[in-house]
Amino acid sequence: MRGAAAAALALGLLAAVPVLTGRSAVLNWLFLVLLHAGIAQSWNLLAGFGGQVNLGHAAFFGLGAVVARILWLDGAAVPWALFAGVAAAGAAGLLIGAPSLRLRGAYFAIGTLALAEILRITFANAMPEVSALSAAQLGDYALAPRYYLALLLAAGTTTVAWGFSASRFGLGLAAIREDEDVAAAIGIPTFRQKLLALLASTVFAGLAGGVFAYYHLSFYPSFAFSPIWTFDALIITFLGGVGTVWGPVVGAAFFILVREALALRLAELHLLIFGVLFVLVVVAFPGGLMQAGAALGRRLGAPARPAQRPQQG
């Protein structure tokens, strides 16, 4: 329970930040970390714990953002706007997941990629204008509620991740990730588990989108569907530790730190650095960072495994 106590302490400290400091630079920075922790953690819920690669996380983020934004600017109460965005993201998740998670192979990755890219182009065509706050809304704008919302997002996703790591449900997901045939053979309802994890993942991605929409003064709707959001989620999760509870949080802090430091010089540079780091991590530890420690142990000790695996049939 030491971990839980430390987490509660961290949460308390983070909750106190707006009271302790009026400096918006600090709040903005922490907001970005929390938002990205939420995006990455929501991706991690399905991909890290369940092993299903979602290449279109931006679709769910974008739907959450655009739906919440439209309703909010139309005068809906913020919680309702956010809820509608979350519902849209979850529904889109089911639309893609229900047919493609029944199958193995690359269908799910392709389906999510297709959803995100097609939504991006479609929204670029349908809503080409920038979405900006009105003068009245700008007058009301306060950072603290946005910050607390992001904190809620990060804490919520991480709590669910912790739940996945410590439950029968999470154990089932891990079994699916390791070997779906075996998981099915020992009676785990693989399709239902994958779909539920996808639902959790997309719902939180939608919430992250809503938080983004509530935070930004102006953005192009299609930008919320940019593949950059998916890249960020993958990179942060892999650098921090895919399939771990705290990896996405630690990764997000590191990511934002480096990104903001480099942004002044050259906007693209951080993407290049992180892209290279990401590929290196995937190549060096193809089993994911969780297995990196185990792999290191194997390399030092145990006998080599057969170089080529025979497959019968």
Partner 1 sequence: MNGAPVLELRDLQVAYGDQRVVWGVSLEVRDGEVVAVIGPNGAGKTTTLLATAGLLRPLAGQVTFLGARIDGLPPHTIVDRGLALVPEGRRLFGAMTVRENLLLGGYPARARRDRAATLAEVMDLFPVLAARAHQRAGTLSGGEQQMLAIGRALMARPRLLLLDEPSLGLAPRLVRRVFELVREIAARGVTVVVVEQNAFQALEHADRAYVLSGGRVAASGPARELLARDEIRRTYVGL
Partner 2 sequence: MIVLQNIVFGALVGGLYGVAAVGLALVFGVLKMLNVSHGELIMLGGYASFWLFSLWGLDPFLSLAASGPALFLVGAVLYLGLFSRLVPLHDEEKLKNSILIGFGLALILQVLAILAWTADERAITTAYAGQVWRLGAVVVPLARLAALAVGFVALGGLHLFLHRTDPGRAIRATAEDWQAAALMGISVRRTYLCAFGLGSALAGVSGTLVSIADAVSPSIGLSWTLKALIVVVLAGLGSIFGTFVAGVGLGIAESLSAFFLGGVYREVVGLALFLIVLAVRPSGLFGRP
Verify binding: residue 103, partner 2, rule CB under 8 A.
yes
Verify binding: residue 102, partner 2, rule CB under 8 A.
yes
Contact call for residues 89 and 65 (beta carbons, < 8 A): no
Task: Give Cα separations from 35 to 61, 71, 111, 262 (angstroms).
Answer: 11, 21, 25, 19
Identity of the residue, 12 or 313, whose beta carbon is nearer to ligand ATP in the bound complex:
313
Verify binding: residue 300, partner 1, rule CB under 8 A.
no
Verify binding: residue 307, partner 1, rule CB under 8 A.
yes
Q: How far is the CB of 312 from ligand ATP (least distance, A)?
A: 6
Rounded to whole angstroms, how far apart are CA atoms 125 and 169?
41
Contact call for residues 92 and 65 (beta carbons, < 8 A): no
Verify binding: residue 53, partner 2, rule CB under 8 A.
yes
Rounded to whole angstroms, how far apart are CA atoms 126 and 113?
20
Q: How far is the CB of 148 from partner 1 (least distance, A)?
A: 50
Verify binding: residue 111, partner 2, rule CB under 8 A.
yes
Query: Could you say which of partner 1, ligand ATP, partner 2, none residue 303 binds, taking C-beta under 5 to 8 angstroms by partner kind?
Result: partner 1
Contact call for residues 175 and 182 (beta carbons, < 8 A): yes
Verify binding: residue 175, partner 2, rule CB under 8 A.
no
Contact call for residues 49 and 177 (beta carbons, < 8 A): yes
Please report which residue ranges of the chain form alpha helices under DSSP H. 2-20, 24-50, 57-73, 78-100, 107-126, 135-140, 143-165, 168-178, 180-185, 190-215, 227-240, 247-263, 269-284, 292-300
Verify binding: residue 279, partner 2, rule CB under 8 A.
yes
Binding part of the chain for partner 1, among 106-114, 177-185, 202-210, 298-306 by CB under 8 A, reads 298-306
Verify binding: residue 287, partner 2, rule CB under 8 A.
yes
Task: Give Cα separations from 210 to 103, 108, 216, 223, 292 (angstroms).
Answer: 31, 24, 10, 14, 35
Verify binding: residue 310, ligand ATP, rule CB under 6 A.
yes
- Which 3 state secondary structure label does DSSP give 310? coil
Number of residues that bind partner 1 (CB under 8 A): 9
Identity of the residue, 22 or 128, whose beta carbon is nearer to partner 2 in the bound complex:
128
Rounded to whole angstroms, how far apart are CA atoms 273 and 235?
11
Per-residue contact track with partner 2, 194 to 223, x per CB under 8 A?
Answer: ------------------------------
Identity of the residue, 75 or 105, whose beta carbon is nearer to partner 2 in the bound complex:
105
Rounded to whole angstroms, how far apart are CA atoms 255 and 32?
10
CA torsion angle 146 149 151 155 (round to 10): -170
Alpha carbons within 13 angstroms on the beta-carbon side of residue 122 total 10
Q: How far is the CB of 229 from ligand ATP (least distance, A)?
A: 41
Verify binding: residue 125, partner 2, rule CB under 8 A.
yes
Identity of the residue, 218 or 308, whose beta carbon is nearer to ligand ATP in the bound complex:
308
Binding-site ranges for partner 1 (CB under 8 A)? 303-308, 310, 312-313
Binding-site ranges for ligand ATP (CB under 6 A)? 310, 312
Binding-site ranges for partner 2 (CB under 8 A)? 51, 53, 55, 95-96, 99-100, 102-107, 109-111, 113-115, 117-118, 121-122, 125-126, 180, 227, 230-231, 234-235, 238, 268, 271-272, 275-276, 278-279, 282-283, 286-287, 307-311
